[in-house]
Structure formats: C-alpha cells, structure tokens
Amino acid sequence: MSDIKDIADRLIGWFPEYQALSDAHSEMKQKNIPKSDNYYHRLGMCRAAQLKNPLWPSDKIAKVFGYIKEADDIRKKVDWESLKKADYISLLKNKGDLSALYRDNPDILTRFIPTLASALVDSQKDLKNNDDGINLGLQNPEISCRILLKDFDYRSNKWEK
C-alpha cells in the first residue's frame, strides 16, 4: 500500500465519498480487467456524487480526492531518480541554458521527461473520467451508477450508443 493511500485511509477513510471511491478501486483491482480503470473512475465518482453529505457537497469532496489520487499516481509513475541525479551545475555554468542540462544529463530526456509526459496524459484522462462520473451521478441521483454505465465501453473509453 502506498504511503499516501495508507495516510488517506487513516485520516479521511471515514468520508463516505472516500469509501465510494475506495470501493470502486478495490473492485477494479480484484477483477483485474485491462483498461477497466476508465469504467471504475466513472463508477466511483458517480457513486460519490450521488451521496447526500449534509456538511459538504459530495461531488466537490470526491473531486478533491480524485486530484489527490492523481497526484499520488504521478509521484509513483515518474522516474524522479533520474532528475535527482542530474548535474545542475552545468545549468548554472551555462547561464540557464537548458540544452546544456539535457546534454550533460541524458537521463532527463530518456527517462524523466517520457515518464512525466506519460503520467500527465494518463492523469488527464483519469480526471476527465472523474468529471464525467461526477456529472453522471449529479444528473441522475436516483439511478444506480452501474445502470447508468451499462452502455459505456471501458476499453475504448467511449459510449457504445
């Protein structure tokens, strides 16, 4: 379990919105269906948005939790070690010329930037799925999210009809 997930479970696990998201994530892990994260992001957010939290709007709480999750995903997916090993002295010696930094530290180009770009693209997709799930739940507060998602093709991340 990641450090952030462990902290979240201990500090905010009592939020019903967090539990809805956590349950969807656990089901996704258990079923282990490739590319199903598109479906489960929407399912968890839809369920969370349908909750009636008397203190805060459930959709806003779920959205914050979604951003926290994506920040943790980026932390896990990016090759930060290649950035940590970079020699920043070359940047200073060359008066801030980034090409010198890249030339003297090829791992930044071959490892750090590609993993960062990939993580950001995936997080952008996940955040859009989150927003779509929240909107689905808000627009249909009395209909089961599974029923609402029955025509959603998780592999293509598109609606079938």
Q: Pick the range with the lowest mean pLDDT from 39-48, 97-106, 148-157.
A: 97-106
Range picked from 5-9, 54-58, 91-95, 128-132 for highest mean pLDDT: 128-132
Q: What per-residue confidence (pLDDT) applies to 5? A: 67
What number is the average pLDDT over the span 18-26?
89
Cα–Cα separations (whole angstroms), residue 30 to 26, 36, 126: 6, 11, 19
pLDDT value at residue 109 = 86
Residues 6 or more apart in contact with residue 129 via CB below 8 angstroms = 37, 38, 41, 42, 45, 157
Domain boundaries, the chain: 3-78+126-159
pLDDT at 40: 95
User: How far apart are alpha carbons 18 and 9 in whole angstroms?
Assistant: 8
State the average pLDDT over residues 80-109.
Answer: 81
Q: What is the dihedral of CA 82, 88, 94, 97, to 10 degrees?
A: 50
Element (H, E) at 158: strand 158-159
CB 81 within 8 A of CB 61: no
Mean pLDDT calculated for residue range 22-34? 91
